[in-house]
Structure formats: C-alpha cells, structure tokens
Chains A and B, each alone.
Chain A
Amino acid sequence: MNSLFSGKYTWLHSINPSLKLLTLLSLFVLAINIHYLSFMVGFSCVILTLFIFGTGYSYKQLLLLSLPFLFVFLSTSSSMILFGKGETILFKWAYVQISEESLIRGIHLGFRALSFAMLGLIFALTTKPVMLFYSLMQQLKLPPKFAYSFMAAIRLIPIMIEEYQIIMNAQRVRGIEQKNHFLKRMQRLAIPLLSQSIRRAYRIAVSMEAKRFQSNRKRTYYYEVGFSRNDLLFLCYFLVLLGLAYLLSTHYPFLPNTDVRYLSDLRD
C-alpha cells in the first residue's frame, strides 16, 4: 500500500484506476499465453522499465521492495528446473533431472512470476485504494454497497494489525506458551481477531444504514474520477513497446527459440 513509503506523484498515479486494473489484467492474460523465452524476457524488460522509472520511488526503496522478487524467481523456477520433463539431459542425480527443456522452461516461469510481481507492485504503489473504488463505482458500475464495504474494510487494516499486537502481548503476559501446537496457536489468535472484526463490521453496517446509506438510488460522488491524456500514454506505452519486443524477439531471438511447453504429442 502507498503508506509503506512515500514516493513522488508521477503520471502513473494520475491514470484512471479502472483502466489501469483492466490493462494489467489483460497483460496477465497475454503473459500466460507467451510460450517463447525471448519474448517473455522482452515482456519483463518492458515492465521493469516502467517499474523503475515510472513509479516515482527512489532506487533504494525499489531495491528493498524487489528483494522478495529474488525469492519469487528462484522458488518458481527451481522445482521446474530440477524435476521438469525433458529429453536432452544435462545433469542427473537420484530424482533430480535437469534437462535443457526443463531449464529453459524454469527460467521462463521465473520471468513470468517476476513480471506478475512487478505488475502488481506497479499497481499497488501508484493507486490509492479509495480512488480505485470510486473509479470502479463510476466507470465499471460496481454497486456502492460493495465499494463502500471495501473502503471501510481497508480503513480497518491498521486497527486490525494493532489489535493483533495487543492480543499477542496479552497472551504473552498471561504466560501462554508460544511454541505450542501450530494450529492451536493460530486458533488462539484467529478467534479474538475475527470476533472483534465481525462485531466492528456489524456496528459500521448498522450505523451506515441508520444514516440512510442506500445502494439503489442514484448517488453523487465526493471524488469524480475521469480520464486524461496520460491514460492514452499508458496504453500506448504497452502497445508500442510490447509490439517492438515481439517483433525483435521473433526476428532476432537471442535465446533458444522453441516453445517452452513439453509437446510430446507433437514430436516424432
């Protein structure tokens, strides 16, 4: 969330949140249909560029935020590299079998996970949740009772985290063993946290209805969310650069240009 660090206000912040969300979702669909490593790497580079230069955060902050990416990359690719199917065996030891195909496929998966992680962070870093839900109500006609419930719930996050710490401390003061059975410990935390949250949510809903909150009438909005020239720029950025990446990767593939899937049926 934006409260994590504060960054500069950039053109990415001014993009219509609904449009941003839909664009990123279509990029997701596009990405799971990329089966050639060269284009996947190109795709990741296009997103990386936007992530580094577009989000308005300092390099130090971005580096800190990207630390989990390393984990994401390694963990996503490792099991495919070590245990994937393939014919050109490079290394074999007990159950571990690294083949050329599985290596390429693993790296492909790593890049894919990496680009999803970056897309997600680009959105989370440059979008105010309140604006997202106002925009969803205005552009995508999300019923207000859902949108306002989301906004109320997001407001409760800091309170819930505070309460989590209070519960932990209270249990520690009373000498409840921490190294207890895992599920028991989870339950002891979850029950008070959930029951308090339910009570609070119920109170909020009752007071909203007492103040005549209605979903079906035509509403006016405190924030009007519209479109600007930056939205066009945003769409063009992806259209042009991804098109370029596609052309480059098909004409000058710098990496093995084979389908990364294991197409045993199509071979022979």
Chain B
Amino acid sequence: MQKGLKLTDILVTIVISIAFGILYKIWGPLYYAVKPFGLHIDQLIYGMWFMAATVAFLIIRKPGVALLAEIAASSGEFLMGSEFGLEVLLYGLIQGLFAEFILFAFRYKRFDLFVISLAALSSCTGSLIMDFYKGYIGDLSTWNLTLLIVFRMIGSILFTGFFAVSIAKALEATGVTNLVRSSSKKDHEALDQ
C-alpha cells in the first residue's frame, strides 16, 4: 500500500477545488454588494469560502485533502484575478490548516455532520484570527463585533457543515465517490468469498 496521497487523489481534490474557486469568483461581487450595509449580513455567506475543504475531504476521506483543497481553491481564485487579491492565498492556507487540525483530532475516521461542523467552526476561527491582524476587527464596537462573529459562525455551519454534508451525500448517491475512495474493508471481504 502506498502511503499518502496518490496522483488520483491530488488531481480530483484540485479539480473539485478549482470548481469551487470559480464559484468563489462568482460569489465575490455578491459578497461585496451586500457588505456596505455595515451590519454584516455578508458574513452569513462567508462560510461558503471554507466549503472546498470539507467537501473534498468528504469525497476522498484522506489526510491532507482538506488543506490541499483550500489552498487549491484559493489559488484558483487568485489566478483568475480575485478582487480580494493576494490575501486569499494566506486566508486559504490558514483556513485549510484549521479545518485539517480538527479532522486530524478525530484521526480522519469520522465523516458525520458534527465533526464536519467542528471543522467549519475551526476554519471560521482561523479566518477571524487573520481578520484581527489584517482588518482590525477587534477595534469594532463590541455589539458590532459580536454580530460579525455570530453571523460568520452561523454561515460556516450552514454552508461548510450542512450544505457540504448534503452535497457529499448526493454525490455518493451518484456513485462517483466510489472512483476515488480507497477500497474499504467490505470490498476486501467481498473478494475473499
């Protein structure tokens, strides 16, 4: 057995992420269109940006996929000329790392909504840390900051948790996930008979 990610895993992860990258690029202007109200309605859709990591992990189910997916999605967005420019690369890296950390804590063995939502919240925390440095969000008045954090967390659980799990379930129903997942114990037992 070869350890680590195979070419197939990497290629599939990156292609999924680039697809999300396109989505992010379409998403960006919408995000900016609702942002200037200042009441952080935009934060409800912020969770979209962490989705590549959990969707790719749910499909391939291997260590390192979440991080790679988030990096690939952000570089895809970056190379297409994102309005956010350079910062997407570092945000992607941090968000991917934070999601990966939660998945690692559960030893890449659990794929349920609870763990995926935890990974979503972790990515969310990563992005907030970046915002404290880059966006001085700590200098917002307290009620406004609370609103921002709560909205962003709700959004992450909604998109990166619920929506990602439902996408993965639907993809399993189509059968494509069998192409990329490593053979399970059940398959080996079936061969033995």
| Chain A residues within 8 Å of B, Cβ to Cβ | 1, 4, 24-25, 27-28, 32, 65, 68-69, 71-72, 74-76, 78-80, 82-85, 95, 97, 102, 105, 109, 112-113, 116-121, 123-125, 127, 129, 132, 145-146, 149-150, 152-154, 156-157, 160-161, 164, 183, 186-187, 190-191, 193-195, 197-202, 204-206, 208-209, 213, 215, 260-262
Contact = CB atoms under 8 A, between A and B. Distances in A.
Given A119-B85, A121-B85, A82 B16 contact: no
Given A68-B83, A145-B7, A84 B15 contact: no
B79 interface: yes
Interface in B105-164: 133-136, 138-141, 143-144, 163
A150 B71 CA distance: 11
B183 to A, nearest CB: 15
B11 A152 contact: yes
Nearest to A213: B7
Given A105-B136, A198-B16, A202-B180, A154 B7 contact: no
7 contacts: A32-B133, A80-B136, A83-B38, A120-B85, A195-B176, A198-B179, A205-B6
A120 B84 contact: yes
B139 A68 contact: no
Contact of B139 (A116, A132, A262): A262
Among B72, B81, B88, B136, the most chain A Cβ lie within 10 Å of the Cβ of B136
B167 A84 contact: no
Interface string B28-41: 11001101101010
Q: Which 10 A/B pairs are nearest by Cβ-Cβ distance? A: A120-B85, A201-B15, A75-B35, A124-B81, A83-B144, A205-B8, A117-B85, A116-B85, A79-B38, A262-B139
- Please classify the interface of chain A as helix (H, G, I), strand (E, B), loop, or mixed, using the class held by over half of its residues: helix
A124 B78 contact: yes
Interface of B: 6-8, 10-19, 22, 28-29, 32-33, 35-36, 38, 40, 55, 59, 68, 72, 75-76, 78-90, 133-136, 138-141, 143-144, 163, 166-167, 170-171, 174, 176-177, 179-180
A127 to B, nearest CB: 8
B113 to A, nearest CB: 15
Contact of B86 (A79, A123, A150, A208): A123
A82 B82 CA distance: 26
Contact of B84 (A116, A150, A262): A116
B171 A194 contact: yes
Interface centre among B7, B33, B82 (most CB of A within 10 A): B7
Contacts of A127: 79
Given A68-B83, A156-B15, A195 B171 contact: yes
B139 A121 contact: no
A97 B38 CA distance: 12
Of listed B16, B38, B138, B163, residue having the most chain A CB within 10 A? B38
Given A194-B167, A205-B12, A28 B139 contact: no
B81 A121 contact: yes
